[in-house]
Structure 1
Amino acid sequence: MSSESVILVTGGSGLVGKAISWVIENDKSEQFGKKEGEKWIFLTSKDGDLRKLEDTKAIFEKYRPTHVIHLAALVGGLFKNMKYKLDFLRDNMLINDNVLFMAKEFGVKKVVSCLSTCIFPDKTSYPIDETMVHNGPPHESNFGYAHGKRMIDVYNRAYHDQFGCNFTSVIPTNIFGPHDNYNLEDSHVLPGLTHKCYLAKKEGKPFVVSGTGKPLRQFIYSRDLAKLFIWTLREYKEIDPIILSVGEEDEVSIKDVADAIVKAIDFKGDYSFDTSRADGQYKKTASNAKLRKYLPDFKFTPFDVAVKESVEWFVENYETCRK
């Protein structure tokens, strides 16, 4: 990156945007910390509606970014994805089309967009890797969101082939950390269980986890992911996407997640699993071999430590956090 860089982060107030901001300000290493001559701008919805081309153009005219980390998206839990498939498809297509088009129009040197493991085919072999993105339809429950995200990869290739644009993307596994969405009705598993356990302790009630606790997931701490986003922006040269995840060997069960939360919250009450409730997909194992080829020595935060830091942040910010 040049000595004078303006890095625009869309979705800057979300889980990953807040983590990138934290790393830029707190990490003092040459590899991940803020460099001299860099200006970081973290957009929020108050800056404009990225679904509207005129708003997006105004943002690019105002800040004249040289680089973009594109995180902004319409996101939601399973219920919302199933009910509002067209909204998730159309809104995300509009956001992505506007951001990437304006990045091309304003001569942005590099764009790194954020995808999701839900874009992978529903029927697949494991571990999934970057070559499998377009090998079949995604799961029916979230095909609107998944196809909207998949199209970023198609856009990236098309912009590169026709205009030589340096647009790429990353595919994180399950992200968690400070500034997550802790809404009990619409959150992902780790923040949802954190809030549920917190309330069980506060109200003196049992902590009951839905399902058997056996399904396996790979979780990445938002501050680790933030470092990898910064590395991708500065160093990663490919247009093809890269999976950002802990290794297959660091996959944990939902029971492991619940155990770590119980320990972090210091919950002493009755703790059980409701095995009459469905487990959902047993595994979605992703390979981080490509990442390890580039960064063999990257140190991920130990899972228990990351959960403890996330839980502590939630408890400290309970009155004001998203819940």
Structure 2
Amino acid sequence: MQRETGTMCIMVTGGSGLVGKAIERVLQEEGPKTGEKWIFLSSKDANLMNLEETRAVFQKHRPTHVIHLAAMVGGLFKNMRQNLDFWRNNMYINDNVLQAAHEVGVVKVVSCLSTCIFPDKTTYPIDETMIHNGPPHDSNFGYAYAKRMIDVHNRAYFEKYGRRYTAVIPTNVFGPHDNFNIEDGHVLPGLIHKTYKAQMCVEEGTSLQVWGSGRPLRQFIYSLDLARLFLWVLREYDEVDPIILSVGEEDEVSIKDAADAVVRALDFRGEVIYDTNKADGQFKKTASNAKLRKYLPDYTFTPFHKAIKETCDWFVNNYDIARK
């Protein structure tokens, strides 16, 4: 497959997930830039834990640029149960994708990390220089260490081959096309699904059970905001060092605040009960977006309550096809 001169062939791994679908929607609404060809892969196209399948899909499409979103992911309780699986599966995926990208001459890879990679014992706010300063929280050390290794990969490819492979570190992402599984999903989509089901039975006196105390703090980023920032990183950001993509520290909310926002968006009228027998996980992961603001001082994030309402509306309207 020959590349056309001057074109960017951008391949997105994990293209059918939360962030991949958000990037696809932003491109549909705003249009790709001239000369950009986009390919969105799903798990049906290749098993990225298998090197030969990964090489084959890279040889087939021969991308010039890659947004690497594919990963084994899950919420707090799935991580606690499956740390070994999270470590091994994500190490295979990341090593295969970066190696295959290098072999076909990909100019730039933008991988997706997570703020859970940061040390558990640290000072706040955390920033990009602090990733390797100590062990992550015990609850998800397998996933966290596997994601940290992408930063090591990127620096090593740059040192040996001059590759401009980098990574972004979003805070808690949510939006349409999320995984709304109550047991194994992340906190916000799980809350949305749980509230929706409680609302269906509210006349029978069903309450909303929120796991944990509601006190932990999080910075949430709407998937469509993250998608626009991903496009900026792909097109404009030239550092190998990673960059945190997040709302400001002042926009941090508690899990209780998030639950209240979901309750309002879905107009749930029943009782809300916090199950303090369930683990809270890490109390806070407050991240600085100072580096992002240095590049994009005027970027405007979607207000949290508006993003929650849009996500809840999408879930209700797409309940039959939503991942759950």
CA contact (8 A) 1:121 1:133 kept: yes
Q: Give the % identical residues.
A: 69
CA contact (8 A) 2:23 2:227 kept: yes
**Correspondences of 1:154-303 after superposition (within 5 Å):** 154-204=152-202, 205-275=206-276, 277-303=278-304
Structure 2 distance, partners of 1:276, 1:162, is: 50
Q: Does the residue aligned with 2:99 lie in a helix, a strand or coil?
A: helix
Kindly state the Cα deviation for residue 276 of structure 1 after the two structures are TM-superposed. 5.4
After the TM superposition, which of the residue ranges 174-183 and 86-95 deviates more from structure 2?
A: 86-95
Q: Which amino acid aligns with 1:213?
A: G
Q: Which amino acid aligns with 2:94?
A: N
> What residue ranges of structure 2 are gaps of 5+ in the alignment?
none
Deviations 1:199-219 (A, max 9, x none): 111011122323332221100
Deviations 1:57-99 (A, max 9, x none): 1111110101000001111223332333222112111111111
**Correspondences of 1:120-131 after superposition (within 5 Å):** 120-131=118-129
CA contact (8 A) 1:3 1:36 kept: no
Kindly state the Cα deviation for residue 278 of structure 1 after the two structures are TM-superposed. 4.5
CA contact (8 A) 1:12 1:44 kept: yes
Instruction: Give the CA RMSD over aligned residues.
Output: 1.4
Deviations 1:120-163 (A, max 9, x none): 11111110100000001112222111111111000100000110
CA contact (8 A) 1:175 1:221 kept: yes
Q: TM-score, normalised by structure 1?
A: 0.95
1:133 aligned residue: 131
> What residue ranges of structure 1 are gaps of 5+ in the alignment?
28-32
**Correspondences of 1:88-127 after superposition (within 5 Å):** 88-127=86-125
1:12 aligned residue: 15
Structure 1 distance, partners of 2:55, 2:130, is: 34
Structure 2 distance, partners of 1:211, 1:273, is: 6
**Correspondences of 1:41-120 after superposition (within 5 Å):** 41-120=39-118
Kindly state the Cα deviation for residue 189 of structure 1 after the two structures are TM-superposed. 1.0
Deviations 1:5-54 (A, max 9, x none): 11000000010010010111112xxxxx4112211100001101111111
After the TM superposition, which of the residue ranges 111-120 and 199-208 deviates more from structure 2?
A: 199-208
Q: Does the residue aligned with 1:82 lie in a helix, a strand or coil?
A: helix
Kindly state the Cα deviation for residue 281 of structure 1 after the two structures are TM-superposed. 2.6
Moved over 3 A (4+): 272-280
Structure 1 distance, partners of 2:58, 2:322, is: 30
Kindly state the Cα deviation for residue 280 of structure 1 after the two structures are TM-superposed. 3.3
Kindly state the Cα deviation for residue 293 of structure 1 after the two structures are TM-superposed. 0.4
Structure 1 distance, partners of 2:247, 2:305, is: 14
- Assess, with a 3 A threshold, how the Cα gap between structure 1 residues 245 and 320 changes in structure 2: closer, same or farther: same
Structure 2 distance, partners of 1:79, 1:279, is: 10
Structure 1 distance, partners of 2:10, 2:289, is: 26
Q: Which amino acid aligns with 1:41?
A: I
Structure 2 distance, partners of 1:113, 1:63, is: 18
1:30 aligned residue: none
Structure 1 distance, partners of 2:81, 2:216, is: 25
Kindly state the Cα deviation for residue 224 of structure 1 after the two structures are TM-superposed. 0.3
After the TM superposition, which of the residue ranges 189-198 and 85-94 deviates more from structure 2?
A: 85-94
Structure 1 distance, partners of 2:132, 2:277, is: 35
Deviations 1:279-300 (A, max 9, x none): 3332110000000000000010
Structure 1 distance, partners of 2:247, 2:270, is: 32
Q: Does the residue aligned with 2:78 lie in a helix, a strand or coil?
A: helix
Structure 2 distance, partners of 1:274, 1:264, is: 22
- Assess, with a 3 A threshold, how the Cα gap between structure 1 residues 294 and 45 changes in structure 2: closer, same or farther: same
Q: Does the residue aligned with 2:109 lie in a helix, a strand or coil?
A: strand
- Assess, with a 3 A threshold, how the Cα gap between structure 1 residues 100 and 46 changes in structure 2: closer, same or farther: same
